[in-house]
């Protein structure tokens, strides 16, 4: 069966079906890039194309688009497991659009983009004058993609490969979560982790409403701020999803920062 890599994301269970041999091939490729990062950079370059076809054309991103051969190839042929970094997810797109339209919010703030993927939110934060920006992702290939995309937009962001859900302390004013509620396990992790955040931390979530996530967001005291219609390409990539919203954490809403919106 020929399926685009992106459509496969919605059938994540099927990723698990790849044979051990193929899984091992992917694993040994990724480990070998630790010794030779340039190999990874040139492969990302080869497999993606530079795109501005999204809600924030102010930034360029290397993505797998329908013009890339991987889009049409078999999922087993992709050397990367779950290459989430190769797509600009609806949640990230809406949140980045919101930040660009309300540029005062993160100016001079220290920002953490948790689950950064292609790095869009971190890049936008840097362009908008955030004082310190960290792009965090547990996928080492995402870290390489973030570095490449940052360079493409003439900014430098700090990268962090740790699973921050295991960290209790955090020194940042603003947390950005783009499309990080795509399954229930992750949503629970986000909710638990947020309990330890200081009261004055601004948490903004971009989310297209998969898996009943709006119900969890309401329970977590988030309020919807704005909803954006997606571009035709994003609608095509995300079967059945037409818009994506930005949610703000109620604890922060009560603070004077809210006047900046």
Ligand X SMILES: C[S@@+](CC[C@H](N)C(=O)[O-])C[C@H]1O[C@@H](n2cnc3c(N)ncnc32)[C@H](O)[C@@H]1O
CA angle 184, 123, 110 (to 5 degrees): 80
Which structure tokens are listed for 156? Answer: 């430098």
Stretch that binds ligand X, among 37-45, 82-90, 208-216, 236-244 (CB under 6 A): 82-90
Shortest distance, position 111 Cβ to ligand X, whole Å:
13
Q: Does position 114 bind ligand X by CB under 6 A?
A: yes
Shortest distance, position 141 Cβ to ligand X, whole Å:
9
Shortest distance, position 54 Cβ to ligand X, whole Å:
9
Chosen residue from 92, 124, 128, 146 binding ligand X by CB under 6 A: 92
Q: Does position 142 bind ligand X by CB under 6 A?
A: yes
Of 147-166, binders to ligand X (CB under 6 A) are 163-165
> Is 81:145 a contact under the CB 8 Å cutoff?
no
Residues 6+ apart with CB under 8 A from 208: 89, 90, 91, 94, 179, 230, 238, 241, 243, 244, 245
Q: Report how far residue 173's alpha carbon sits from residue 260's, in angstroms, rounded to the nearest whole number.
A: 15
Nearer to ligand X, 69 or 165 (CB): 165
Shortest distance, position 259 Cβ to ligand X, whole Å:
27
Q: Report how far residue 139's alpha carbon sits from residue 86's, in angstroms, rounded to the nearest whole number.
A: 12
Q: Does position 179 bind ligand X by CB under 6 A?
A: yes
């Amino acid at each position: 069966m020929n399926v685009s890599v992106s459509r496969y994301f919605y059938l994540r269970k099927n990723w698990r079906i790849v044979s051990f041999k193929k899984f091992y091939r992917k694993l040994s490729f990724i480990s070998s890039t630790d010794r030779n990062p340039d190999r990874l950079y040139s492969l990302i370059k080869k497999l993606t194309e530079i795109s501005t076809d999204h809600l924030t054309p102010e930034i360029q991103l290397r993505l797998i688009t329908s013009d890339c051969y991987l889009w049409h190839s078999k999922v087993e042929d992709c050397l990367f497991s779950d290459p989430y970094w190769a797509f600009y997810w609806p949640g990230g797109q809406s949140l980045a659009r919101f930040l660009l339209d309300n540029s005062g919010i993160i100016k001079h703030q220290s920002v953490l983009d948790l689950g950064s993927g292609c790095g869009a939110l971190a890049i936008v934060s840097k362009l908008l004058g955030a004082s310190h920006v960290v792009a965090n992702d547990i996928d080492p290939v995402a870290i390489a993609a973030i570095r490449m995309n940052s360079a493409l937009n003439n900014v430098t962001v700090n990268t962090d490969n740790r699973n921050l859900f295991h960290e209790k302390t955090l020194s940042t004013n603003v947390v950005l979560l783009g499309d990080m509620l795509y399954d229930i396990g992750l949503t629970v992790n986000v909710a638990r982790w947020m309990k330890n955040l200081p009261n004055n931390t601004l948490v903004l979530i971009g989310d297209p409403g998969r898996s009943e996530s709006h119900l969890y967001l309401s329970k977590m005291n988030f309020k919807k701020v704005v909803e954006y219609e997606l571009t035709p390409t994003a609608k095509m990539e995300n079967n059945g999803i037409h818009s994506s919203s930005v949610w703000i954490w109620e604890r922060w809403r009560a603070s004077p920062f809210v006047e900046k919106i």
